[in-house]
Amino acid sequence: MAERDVTVGQLLLTEYQTIKDEQKTRIGFRDNLLYVTLTVVAAVIAAAAQAKQAAMLLALPPVCVVLGWTYLVNDQKISAIGAYVRGELGPRLAEMVQVEGGEVFKWEVAHRGDARRVSRKVMQCVIDLLAFCVVPLSALIVYWVGDDASTGLVILSVPEAVSVLGLGVYIVQYALPFRSGGRAG
């Protein structure tokens, strides 16, 4: 075999490094979306208060839904990469190199088994719901009960409320353990 020949094991390790790089990038992007959401929420609330225009709060639901959906999709891809490494790539490599115990990339499994994992997942779900759903729904309620709510804008804001609630359903579904494609993967 020539020195330049590539082995299947080298290809698997290259694939591992490539998808772990993608996972790392997605983690950074996902985590920054929470900060972006908090910044946008603060800016919209400050602008609405300064202008004394509660209708400006109607900007929060679509922004939070777009940011929340982007957060959720990236979170799902991060989990899918981990599941692929644990379920496909790791076992193939372990079989190829005949690792005793059949495990490679042990961190992919080990970090998932600590006693506080469930409480962290519950807390993350609560934070996601607060940031992407409770805040925009609160903004809608503030507008709806305000003195200057117009019938037309209230009617237009109903689909906003439905989209926020829909996002909330997805956030909870993806947080539930043992769901296909969810964060538990």
Give the pLDDT confidence of 86-103 residue by residue, as tens digits. 889 988 888 887 766 667
pLDDT of 70 reads 98
Torsion of CA 110, 102, 177, 112, to 10 degrees: 0
pLDDT at residue 11 above 50?
A: yes
Give the pLDDT confidence score for residue 3 in this predicted structure: 61
pLDDT at position 48 over 80: yes
Give residue 183's pLDDT.
46
Q: What is the mean pLDDT of residues 113-130?
A: 91
Longest dimension (CA), the chain: 80
pLDDT of residue 125: 96
Q: Which of 2-6, 109-113, 124-128 has the lowest mean pLDDT?
A: 2-6
Q: Mean pLDDT across the stretch 56-67?
A: 98
Task: Say what the pTM is.
Answer: 0.86
Beta-carbon contacts of residue 6 (< 8 Å; ≥ 6 apart): none
Q: What mean pLDDT comes out for the span 115-124?
A: 90
CB neighbour burial string for 30-60, b if at least 16 within 10 angstroms, e if fewer:
beebbeebeebbeebbeebeeeeebebbbbb
Nearest CA to 54 out of 126, 127, 150 is that of 150
Q: Where are the domains of the chain?
A: 8-175
C-alpha–C-alpha distance, residues 45 and 53, integer Å: 10
**CA atoms within a 13 Å half-sphere pointing along the CA-CB vector of 117:** 12
- 82 contacts 185 by C-beta, under 8 angstroms: yes
pLDDT at 152 over 60: yes
Characterise 35 by phi-psi region: left (phi > 0), alpha (psi -120 to 50), beta (else): alpha
